[in-house]
A and B are shown apart, each in its own frame.
Chain A
Amino acid sequence: MKRYFKDIWDSFYTIAIGMGVTFRHLFRKSVTIQYPDIKPELTERARNRLYVNMDDCIGCDQCSKACPVNCITIETVKAVPPDDLGVTSTGNPKRLWVTKFDIDIAKCCYCGLCVYPCPTECIKMTDVYEFSEFDRHNLVYNYSTMTPSEVEEAKGKFEKWQADKAAAKKSSTEKKKEGSEKPKAKQQESGEGKRSDSPEDKKSES
């Protein structure tokens, strides 16, 4: 019988305590942030949208290789003698035209792995996180600063330079009267850099 009344007392007592707790919370400041009006402050090293400083990019393709989801596409063309691309702010000489530098940010998982290998520290993560789009294709960001005509020009120069070189080689070999095996191999070697571009070139042409 004593237990019976104690139970009743306990239930009222505990409910009163619980109600006290909820009542106090009723007037506590809410933790909700009214997002579009008030933006949360991000931590200093928050990883959001990528940014590439093209002035510093040497087109080394390290970031693209590091990316686990292959969302960075880089194409380069070798710069030939009369053109000097200068050096980056970190002092690395630039030797390649970066004709294409696309990041498919829709695929990006913000792991930041592309940031670490960059020798010139030109690819980095910013705190921009509002970049939704209605069309998925708009999320492919083109960072390359070169216009299509500039790209053509760079390619043309490279091809010309290559042809000149091959011709020079040929004439020199003809002079030396050696077998035709060697220059052919050399030509293939120098064509290597171009080969990676060629499928894309065809695509853009078609």
Chain B
Amino acid sequence: MVETLEQFLPHPLLAIIMHAALPMVIVFPYVLFAVWLERKVSAHMQDRLGPMRTGGWHGWSQTIADMIKMIQKEDIVPSRSDKFLFKFAPFLAFMGAYAAFAVIPFSSEYIGAHLDVGAFYILAVTSVVTLSILMAGWASNNKWSLLGAMRTSAQIVSYEVPTVVAVLSVIVATGTLNLMTISEMQTGTIFNWLIFSNPFLLIAFVLYFISSLAEVNRTPFDLPESESELVGGFQTEYSGMRWGMFMLTEYADMLLVSLLGSVLFFGAWNSPFGDFMSGPVWGVFWMVSKGMFFIFVMMWLRWTLPRLRVDQLMDVCWKYLIPIAFINLVLVALWEMLF
């Protein structure tokens, strides 16, 4: 892909920048769409209508208007905060989320970086988001923010374990960390997808989905934000576009775990119908629609379930997810050995 771009562009550096910016082409419109979708889904689940006016058809441009509004807003930095960390945290958060897209195979032809340790890289680089949340909470010099940030670190550190073990189950089954190779292994019809190749991978997927919900701080695991008890958690003091960056990160993270889930279990960019509707461009389509499906499920869950209490959160992780994940890992390995 970089080579193709280099032929068109005058300078190789420009090609690299273009190449790196490509996921943005998906991520940015996606975030605008997903925020709108979230409002619509939540509204209709509560028998409301949601945004209806901006832009005409079902308020489709509401989020664009919101974004313009946020850019125009005053940039408020609390006077007693740690200025540098406070200003830097949102950008670090988005950096962490965006960097992970480098190894997501969007199509058979496009992957940011052909890393052989792709899965490992994603798990490592998304931890930066935790760091930035902690940074934001600490720098705000505010109790709510700090509490929210502490909760986040506790939550993400705990849930990292089942996530990693669930991903590891896939690695055990495929024998590679390279996400492109994993995608290529699932070529063919729907039955070649990893989730159907091994009964224990289905369990691994459920574990992965639950713990990834916690990793991206979605309800029922949205304790870091918990609007109703911590005002807004780590983002209490943020406003305007810096707050917008956190929002962007949250939705980008959602997309990331959804895409990773579809790469690991649902055949990545492969069409479910074998050769029908397959190809590099269809690949992007399948990848994004699989991702969007999981995002819809996340929204669906969000408007169905209440938030867990902190002790329940830890219970779910340490008493249920982690033991099951480990046992499941052994079973996946056994299955792979036997069949």
Report the Cα distance A169→B147, complex, angstroms. 91
Q: Tell me if A140 is interfacial: C-beta within 8 Å of chain B.
A: no
Q: Which residues in chain A, 15-38, are within 8 Å of chain B measured between CB atoms?
A: 15, 18-19, 21-23, 25-32, 34
Instruction: For residue B159, give the distance in angstroms from its CB to the closest CB of chain A.
Output: 16
What residues on B are CB-neighbors of A23 within 8 Å? 300
Beyond A15-B305, A18-B304, A19-B300, whether A30 also contacts B43 by CB under 8 A is yes
The reply to whether A21 and B304 form a contact with Cβ atoms under 8 Å apart is yes
Beyond A8-B320, A26-B41, whether A15 also contacts B48 by CB under 8 A is no
Q: Tell me if B303 is interfacial: C-beta within 8 Å of chain A.
A: yes
Number of CB contacts from chain A to chain B under 8 A: 38
The reply to whether A25 and B300 form a contact with Cβ atoms under 8 Å apart is no
The reply to whether A34 and B52 form a contact with Cβ atoms under 8 Å apart is yes
The reply to whether A19 and B48 form a contact with Cβ atoms under 8 Å apart is no
Q: Tell me if B44 is interfacial: C-beta within 8 Å of chain A.
A: yes
What residues on A are CB-neighbors of B49 within 8 Å? 30, 32, 34
Instruction: For residue A25, give the distance in angstroms from its CB to the closest CB of chain B.
Output: 5
Q: Chain B 295-310 against A: per-residue CB contact (8 Å), 1 yes, 0 no? A: 0000011011100000
Q: Tell me if B47 is interfacial: C-beta within 8 Å of chain A.
A: yes
Instruction: For residue B96, give the distance in angstroms from its CB to the closest CB of chain A.
Output: 30
The reply to whether A30 and B305 form a contact with Cβ atoms under 8 Å apart is no
Beyond A8-B320, A34-B52, whether A28 also contacts B303 by CB under 8 A is no
Instruction: For residue B337, give the distance in angstroms from its CB to the closest CB of chain A.
Output: 26
Q: Which residues in chain B, 238-270, are within 8 Å of chain A measured between CB atoms?
A: none
Report the Cα distance A27→B47, complex, angstroms. 8
Instruction: For residue A41, give the distance in angstroms from its CB to the closest CB of chain B.
Output: 19
Beyond A8-B320, A26-B41, whether A32 also contacts B48 by CB under 8 A is yes
Beyond A8-B320, A21-B304, whether A31 also contacts B52 by CB under 8 A is no
Nearest neighbor of A17 in chain B, beta-carbon distance? B304
Question: Looking at the complex, which one of B44, B301, B305 makes contact with A25 (CB distance below 8 Å)?
Answer: B44
Most buried by A among B47, B52, B301, B304: B304
Q: Tell me if B45 is interfacial: C-beta within 8 Å of chain A.
A: yes
Q: Tell me if B46 is interfacial: C-beta within 8 Å of chain A.
A: yes
Report the Cα distance A26→B41, complex, angstroms. 7
Report the Cα distance A145→B43, complex, angstroms. 50
Q: Which residues in chain A, 126-184, are within 8 Å of chain B measured between CB atoms?
A: none
Question: Looking at the complex, which one of A8, A18, A31 makes contact with B48 (CB distance below 8 Å)?
Answer: A31
The reply to whether B303 and A22 form a contact with Cβ atoms under 8 Å apart is yes
The reply to whether B300 and A28 form a contact with Cβ atoms under 8 Å apart is no
The reply to whether A30 and B47 form a contact with Cβ atoms under 8 Å apart is yes
What residues on A are CB-neighbors of B305 within 8 Å? 15, 18
> Which A residues are within 8 Å of any B CB, using their own CB?
8, 15, 18-19, 21-23, 25-32, 34
> Which B residues are within 8 Å of any A CB, using their own CB?
41, 43-49, 52, 300-301, 303-305, 320
Closest 4 CB pairs of A and B: A32-B49, A18-B304, A22-B304, A22-B45
Supply 29 A–B pairs (Cβ within 8 Å), ascending by A: A15-B301, A15-B304, A15-B305, A18-B304, A18-B305, A19-B300, A19-B304, A22-B45, A22-B303, A22-B304, A23-B300, A25-B45, A25-B46, A25-B47, A26-B41, A26-B44, A28-B44, A28-B47, A29-B47, A30-B43, A30-B44, A30-B47, A30-B48, A31-B47, A31-B48, A32-B48, A32-B49, A34-B49, A34-B52
